[in-house]
């Protein structure tokens, strides 16, 4: 019995360090960072604004949430496109007109 307890304690001691690093974020991989409660609520609000209605018995579950996620992804892409300068811009100013 004493050997079983000793083996169990050694196994727990060896498993503890692996569990300690389960959700560590590195500067090189910020996508691995844990999500906060506020971020989850914000994501749910954005999905609801895009047309997703969470209900207990949802016959169209995968389709309607995927549709809402696609809408949110499209909005994010448009926001990123407007935030980035255009390829035809020089110094942040769009090149319009002619060079006569």
Q: What angle do CA 55, 59, 63 make, to 5 degrees?
A: 95
User: Which pLDDT score, from 0 to 100, does residue 38 have?
Assistant: 95
- What does the pLDDT look like over 6-23, one tens digit per residue? 776 666 666 766 555 555
Per residue in 28-41, pLDDT (tens digit) is: 666 778 889 999 99
Mean pLDDT value across the chain: 77
CA distance 49 to 38: 16
pLDDT confidence of residue 74: 95
Q: pLDDT class for 67, splitting at 50, 70, 90?
A: very high
* Cα 100 to Cα 92: distance, rounded to the nearest angstrom: 22
Asked whether 86 and 94 are in contact (CB, 8 A), the reply is yes
**Residue 94 backbone phi and psi in degrees, to 5:** -65, 140
Cβ contact 64:86 at 8 Å: no
């Amino acid at each position: 019995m004493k050997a079983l307890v000793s083996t169990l304690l050694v196994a727990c001691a060896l498993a503890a360090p692996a569990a300690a690093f389960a959700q560590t974020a590195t500067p090189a991989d910020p996508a691995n960072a844990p999500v906060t409660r506020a971020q989850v609520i914000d994501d749910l609000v954005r999905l609801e604004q895009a047309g997703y209605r969470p209900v207990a018995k949802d016959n169209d579950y995968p389709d309607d949430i995927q549709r809402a996620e696609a809408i949110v992804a499209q909005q994010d892409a448009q926001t990123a496109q407007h935030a980035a300068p255009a390829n035809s811009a020089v110094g942040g100013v769009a090149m319009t007109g002619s060079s006569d």
